[in-house]
């Protein structure tokens, strides 16, 4: 059990709850390590924006170059 869960477990026992019920109730509490905070989500959002910016640069830089090459090959062979 983690520190928080064991504290809840001990509190339930001291309040008179049976051991099995106290253990089940303490185990049902979600552990905070598995939850995303607002800060975690903001950091992920910033990372995704940076990756999208790189992809946009690649698309808008290389697409016109490729289009130009295709036009040259199609209309000006040789």
More reliable by pLDDT, 24 or 41: 41
Helix (H) or strand (E) holding 47: helix 38-75
State pLDDT tens for residues 11-38: 898 999 998 888 888 888 877 777 889 9
pTM score = 0.51
Helix (H, G, I), strand (E, B) or coil at 7: helix
Distance CA 10, CA 19 (A): 9
Phi, psi (degrees; rounded to nearest 5) at 9: -60, -50
Tell me if 26 sits within 8 A of 8, measured CB to CB: yes
Tell me if 26 sits within 8 A of 5, measured CB to CB: yes
What are the residue ranges spanned by the domains of the chain? 1-35, 36-78
């Amino acid at each position: 059990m983690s520190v928080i869960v064991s504290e809840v477990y001990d509190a339930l026992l001291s309040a008179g709850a049976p051991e099995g019920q106290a253990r089940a109730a303490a185990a049902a509490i979600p552990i905070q390590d598995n939850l995303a905070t607002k800060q975690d989500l903001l950091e992920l959002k910033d990372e995704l924006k940076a990756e999208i910016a790189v992809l946009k640069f690649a698309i808008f830089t290389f697409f016109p170059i490729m289009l130009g090459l295709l036009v040259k090959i199609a209309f000006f062979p040789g």
